[in-house]
Amino acid sequence: MAVKKDFSQLEGLKKQFEQAVALKESRFFYEECIRELAARFLAKVIRRTPVGPGVFEVIRDKENNPVKYKRGKNKGKIRLRQLTNGGVLRRAWTAQTQSQAESGNTPDALSYVKMVNVRKVGSNYQIIITNPMQYASYVEYGHRQTPGKFVPALGKRLKKNWVNGKFMMTISQKELQIEAPNILKKKINQYLREVLKNGK
């Protein structure tokens, strides 16, 4: 007695999987994955980035001497004029230049990630995220300073020899490293469902 088996559906499924991993499709999928990870990373980093009080300048009289408060709780302290609001370091994560971050004309994290270049290096896909502010690495890792020195940008004198880093990138990177396998697993499952549903 002969048994007939129909493998046409399995052959169709095989073709769909072959098309799913085709070079053009897979590259698009990999880029989508790296952009999602970059957007999540930026969301974490931006939330952790401290917001300073802004930039100040010393108010001076006609003889170019600093003007001091004459009464009140600030009596004897140097008067300052605020030039910019704080948050420049935070805005700089999605800025191309320092001046763009200072102007406040920066895109949100999702828009930025859609614009940024994805590079393929060997079999890896990369997005390079930088903060163009000169002092970003000092805030990240900490820095030395001279106690007693007056800093007009801060509007006060320095008190400590060492300022601890905030590690906003380091902590965010470690968190994302733990979360990435589940994020990618969901993306892969969604991608395969779409391939099977659409019959590419």
pTM of the full structure: 0.73
DSSP string spanning 135-188? THHHHHHEEE--TT-EETTTTEE---SEEE---HHHHHHHHHHHHHHHHHHHHH
Ranges of residues in the chain whose predicted pLDDT is under 50: 200
User: What was the pLDDT predicted at 58?
Assistant: 87
Please report, for the chain, how many H helices and E strands are present, in that order: 7, 8
Backbone angles phi, psi at 109, to 5 degrees: -60, -45
Structure-block tokens of residue 200: 């590419």
* pLDDT tens sequence across 144-173: 999 999 887 666 789 999 999 999 999 999
User: What was the pLDDT predicted at 28?
Assistant: 86
Structure-block tokens of residue 188: 């892969």
Report domain extents, the chain: 29-90+133-195
Nearest Cα to Cα of residue 55 among 107, 104, 102, 106: 102
User: What was the pLDDT predicted at 80?
Assistant: 85
